[in-house]
Structure 1
Amino acid sequence: MRLFLVLVGLSIAAVSHAHDAPSGWTYPNSCCSNFDCRHVSFTAISERPQGYIINSTGEVLPYSDRRVRISPDGEYHWCSTAGDDRGRTICLFVPPRMN
């Protein structure tokens, strides 16, 4: 019974942190369903005059798109449907732009 309670406790703890980025900030619930968001490298996203390009899908997000958000840790984080590398973008967290 103790082992069962320990395992349940660990499961609850894992779920409570499922929205956390690796650097410790929390992904908004509107962007994530426990697995949709993840840190991506600077090479996964391109900036072009028309906006941000998700390189794996070719999807274009204009700079003014409401799904584009400033990243609290200055890194790229991509939230896609079902966390799929070919999925549609739910949210894209980007480093602050230097103008």
Structure 2
Amino acid sequence: MLLVIASFAGTALSDAHQSASGWAYPPACCHGDIEHGECQAIPERAVTEHGGGGWSIVLNPGDHRKVTHRNRYFVPYGSEIPSGDSDYHICLHPTQEHENCFFVPPGAI
């Protein structure tokens, strides 16, 4: 019985940190699941390279499930994480004002 419970719990945890395209977000970045977690893909138009040595991200309502008003984020070069697909992704935790992890598609780094 304990093996069944442990097996089910492990499956649930591994599913909890996946993007819509199926690659896994690091557990330290995403708390929740594909419908309620704080990580998801964001529009390419929201991301620009900042002349000051990093990435400028502007999210509006609808760009990410947690965003209810316009938010700006700055991620220094070297702090980004390669994404597992061709999209940009961001994890907002503990609130929409806090960027926890930022993922950049291959070739953009």
- Normalised by the length of structure 2, the TM-score is 0.65
Taking the aligned partners of 1:30 and 1:16, their CA distance within structure 2 comes to 13
**1:52 counterpart = 2:63:** no
State the partner residue of 1:17: 15
Equivalent residues, number: 85
- Give ranges in structure 1 of 5+ residues lacking alignment: 1-8
- What is the CA distance between 1:15 and its match in structure 2? 6.1
- Give ranges in structure 2 of 5+ residues lacking alignment: 1-7, 60-70
- What is the CA distance between 1:74 and its match in structure 2? 2.1
Taking the aligned partners of 2:24 and 2:14, their CA distance within structure 1 comes to 10
Higher helix share: 1
CA contact (8 A) 2:41 2:90 kept: yes
CA contact (8 A) 2:85 2:106 kept: no
State the partner residue of 2:104: 94
CA contact (8 A) 2:86 2:105 kept: yes
Return the letter of the residue paired with 2:22. G
Taking the aligned partners of 2:48 and 2:30, their CA distance within structure 1 comes to 22
Q: Larger C-alpha radius of gyration, 1 or 2? A: 1
Q: What RMSD over aligned residues (CA atoms) do the two structures have, in Å?
A: 2.4
Q: Mean Cα displacement is larger for which, 19-28 or 49-58?
A: 49-58
Share of identical aligned residues, percent?
33
- Normalised by the length of structure 1, the TM-score is 0.70
